[in-house]
Chains A and B, each alone.
Chain A
Amino acid sequence: CISELKMSLRSLSSRQSVLSRADGSCLWKQGATEVLAGVYGPIETQGRKREDMNKADLVVQVIPASGTSTPYTTTLQHFLHSMFKGQILLLLHPRTSIRIIVHLINEAGSELSCCCNAITLALVDAGVPMKSMLASVDIAMMTDGELVADPTNEISHERKEGKDLTGQGTGDSKIRALSSFQVNSAGKVVSEWTHVVQSTGSLTSMDEDQYLDAVAMAKNAASKLHNFFKLTTTSKCLYECHGTAF
């Protein structure tokens, strides 16, 4: 089912059950960044070695837009694996494997967040039991104190010159730190990846108060994303209901 919604985040678009062979899938767009997640599972493990007597074996693979895997995509894999290991109820499906494959179709900023959101909806589409849905949002902390949710590549990779984003600032604002927060349905930040972004010629560091504001903003944005998840999953059910009524 297709859903579109405009927020203070970039415009969101989600489409589930796009892959015919996967148990669940989701094509997720945030602005220009597009990600396709497919979920297979619970299915047989790949080899006896990976079979765990007590719980399902979670495998996550991230495929970049072009080229083969790099340390960056491996790091994304590692993060996504840790995040979802804590949310999927692996103990309910022992000796099986749950495989998540994410394909980065267009990398235009906030990739980790897009992957996380796409995976959440793909898991719901597949009917994999989870403790909670994870909504992820990237926040850019700028040198003039401003916070930008869901930044594009232009903002997060802007190092050499300052850029005025809102048209109201002094025009000198550069990114000082980039954060990616994952928030569960209870509003708790279960994981994050925060790091300073160095600009050439000057040494930036994080302002801790700005960081705490960023956490609060992330929770706010995440609750909007959770509402969007509800919308997209309910409209999918409605679509199916209408289908059988004919």
Chain B
Amino acid sequence: MEAFKKIYPEEYYRKFLVHSIRPDGRTLTAIRKTIVSAGSITSAHGSSFVKIGTTAVVCGIKAEVGKKQPEGSHLAISVELLPLCSAEFPRGKPSTQAQVLSELLNRFSEGIIDEASFQIPGEDLAWYLYIDIYCLDYNGNVFDATLLALITALSDVSLPDIHINSNKQVVASKERKNKLTILRYPISLTFGMIDEYVICDPTVEEESLHDTTFSIVVDSNRNLLGVIRPGGGGGSDNNGVIEGAELKTCIERAKQRATTVMGLVEQALQEK
């Protein structure tokens, strides 16, 4: 059995799929247990820790005061896939995947926070948030985990009051009680495709066997925000193709996932 799995991993996997089940016992549409917690890093202005199955992601947000700029984003998001999380990421230059994740998260975080939250009343200054997301354990579906960690950490952010004293220095109050006004919570659900099967929340082993992976991003109010489907390899002509009714079903699943996940986020913020 072990030999069969090693030599023919795809065939081994297909033998499970035919019975609508996966090697880890999940059905094709089941998502792994998701744990969300907020505020674990006290030195940061906002933080979160998310686990989807064994995929673990931590997010820390540091806020800095800077001169008000007429244009440009107030968020700088950086995702790092540490060598710690998987043997496939060596030390050094950020991997392609980390850069792609950073780019996607920057796009989906545009406009989700009310501009007024960044303003510092009475001064020509504004808040700039430096968001660092680290993957600690890479077991598939990192996009969902990082996006979830991002919105949880943003919800956790508390900023102090700022004023400039007589020595022209920036002084922050000891207390941090200003929360960000978050207008939208983008939440994603990632699927893998192999043959004609569409599989939710793949593990890293499954991802390597799948023809392609795609993600649907929605918000907590059931609005569709995006579909990321890079296409991929495989034998048949219909690889990576998903349209019409099937796509609608996936969008519906993503919306259900968003509702469940928002519940977890709210719980995490209350328990803090």
Contact = CB atoms under 8 A, between A and B. Distances in A.
Given A90-B233, A196-B226, A205-B224, A71 B240 contact: no
B231 interface: yes
A78 B110 contact: no
Contacts of B61: none
B145 to A, nearest CB: 18
A195 B232 contact: no
Instruction: Indicate the member of A77, A86, A90 with the most B CB atoms within 10 Å.
Output: A86
B163 interface: no
Secondary structure dominating the interface of A: mixed
Interface stretch (B50-58, B94-102, B127-135, B257-265): B94-102
Interface string B104-120: 10111011100100000
Contacts of A173: none
B111 A86 contact: no
Given A74-B100, A75-B99, A75-B103, A86 B239 contact: yes
B100 A86 contact: no
Contact of B212 (A86, A132, A206): A86
B86 interface: no
Given A75-B100, A86-B234, A90-B233, A190 B240 contact: yes
Interface string A145-185: 00000000000000000000000000000000101001010
Contacts, number: 102
Nearest to B213: A82
A13 B100 CA distance: 30
Contacts of B99: 71, 74-75
A215 interface: yes
A131 B241 CA distance: 14
A168 B110 CA distance: 30
B243 interface: yes
Contacts of B229: 191-193
Interface residues of B, number: 40
Given A82-B232, A186-B237, A200 B111 contact: yes
B22 interface: no
A194 B188 CA distance: 13
Contacts of B228: 192-195
B35 interface: no
A177 B110 CA distance: 13
A203 B113 CA distance: 10
B231 A78 contact: no
B184 to A, nearest CB: 6
B217 interface: yes
A188 B230 CA distance: 14
B223 interface: yes
Contacts of B115: 200
A92 B112 CA distance: 47
A198 interface: yes
Interface string A54-92: 000000000000000001101101110011011000100
B223 to A, nearest CB: 3
Interface of B: 96-97, 99-100, 102-104, 106-108, 110-112, 115, 183-184, 211-212, 217, 219, 221, 223-234, 237-241, 243, 251
22 contacts: A71-B100, A74-B96, A75-B104, A78-B97, A78-B100, A82-B230, A82-B231, A83-B230, A85-B231, A132-B237, A186-B237, A188-B237, A188-B241, A190-B239, A191-B231, A192-B228, A195-B217, A198-B112, A200-B115, A203-B111, A205-B224, A215-B243
